[in-house]
Amino acid sequence: MSQVLICTPDKDLSQCVVGTRIVQLDRRREILRDEAGVVAKFGIKPQSIPDFLAVVGDTADGFPGLPGWA
């Protein structure tokens, strides 16, 4: 089985992580995150990252989020 490695610290791309097959490498911090790592960091599954960022905001992308959630 091959593994897909997404090399970026961008939290938006955490939504692409699937189990241990598609993982994300934060090159700045040298942290490799599989699905369990995404859940540990954000408290949600990868497929919920877009909704999560819409609610809490993402200053890197200019989204303020909803007041009182961040």
Contact 20, 55 (CB under 8 A): no
Task: Using the predicted structure, report yes or no on whether residue 3 has a pLDDT greater than 70.
Answer: yes
Vertex 62 angle, CA 8 and 46, to 5°:
45
What does the alpha-carbon distance between residue 11 and residue 26 come to, in Å, rounded to a whole number?
Answer: 9
pLDDT tens sequence across 10-65:
999 999 999 999 999 999 999 999 999 999 999 999 999 999 998 998 888 888 88
- For tokens 């995150």, what's the residue? 33
Contact 6, 16 (CB under 8 A): yes
Q: What is the pTM of this model?
A: 0.86
Enclosing H/E stretch for 33:
strand 31-33
